[in-house]
Copies of this chain bind each other. A is one copy, B any other.
């Protein structure tokens, strides 16, 4: 996974330049879109992300600020001539909404949507390929809501070309050396794998939690995560409102990040009442220093 880019991290009411939830992960040449609030297609254009490279879309739940941009985006894919399959993950009912709209507008898509209904009360593997694994896990909100856990796979070591030259190693040995082998010279000496390669960077992981009233059981599901996005809809003095609306406060999210010992906590999904977000960041940082403020256009290179 190359980077995370936030396209929107407001909550239900769009204000000014704060847009409803949407973010992308760039992984190799493709983009994984997470949530798709109203206007996401415009944000993707602004970020110069080619629509055709959006390969997977993950929708957390059916509150409008997390998916009202999806019908428009899928229509635009169609109008722009997409033929590539699109993989869509989301709760029961999502395809029903889309299919009704396509039917009533007389739209027959030129591409396939391969829909995976996200369900269950445990952490569940929903996607896997040579590069990453994605698990869904249940969040605690007013309606069924899922978080997503993106885990990079371990990459093979990088072959050191100078060493290959130094020991005159023929090309056809490279594949096995990449996998972990050493190389035996004609005199019988073995050059160990570690001398011939540079280790790949450690695979990283990212978890997306929006919207969520933190429960103790969440920790187990995202244990070991490197980068955590967690909503902080409210500041600590609105804790009662957070409870009532099944959201979290700054301090609650920061405490979770601290317990999990994540590398970074990225916050977002701010209530429209907060014009200035610095106080939210400060409240988090008192508890957990490596907190970063998510905002429209924010990019985190992994």
Chain B contacts for A93, CB-based, 8 A:
100, 104
Choose among B12, B45, B104, B106 the residue that contacts A142 (Cβ–Cβ < 8 A). B106
Q: Are A13 and B76 in touch, CB under 8 angstroms?
A: yes
Q: Are A143 and B106 in touch, CB under 8 angstroms?
A: yes
Known A14-B72, A39-B39, A63-B105; further 20 A-B contacts with Cβ < 8 A: A12-B76, A12-B79, A13-B76, A13-B79, A13-B80, A14-B41, A14-B45, A14-B76, A15-B45, A64-B72, A64-B101, A64-B105, A65-B75, A68-B71, A68-B72, A93-B100, A93-B104, A96-B104, A97-B101, A100-B100
Of chain B, the residue at the smallest CB distance from A70 is B68
Of chain B, the residue at the smallest CB distance from A41 is B14
| Complex Cα spacing A80 to B93, Å | 26
| Complex Cα spacing A64 to B102, Å | 9
Within the complex, the shortest CB–CB distance from A200 to chain B, in Å, comes to 41
With A13-B80, A96-B100, A100-B97 as given contacts, are A38 and B106 in contact (CB-CB < 8 Å)? no
CB 8 Å contact bits of A41-58 with B (1 = contact, 0 = none): 110010000000000000
With A12-B79, A13-B76, A38-B38 as given contacts, are A104 and B97 in contact (CB-CB < 8 Å)? yes
A:207-238 near B, CB below 8 Å: none
| Complex Cα spacing A62 to B75, Å | 12
With A68-B71, A79-B13 as given contacts, are A143 and B62 in contact (CB-CB < 8 Å)? no
A294 within 8 A of B: no
Chain B contacts for A104, CB-based, 8 A:
62, 93, 96-97, 143
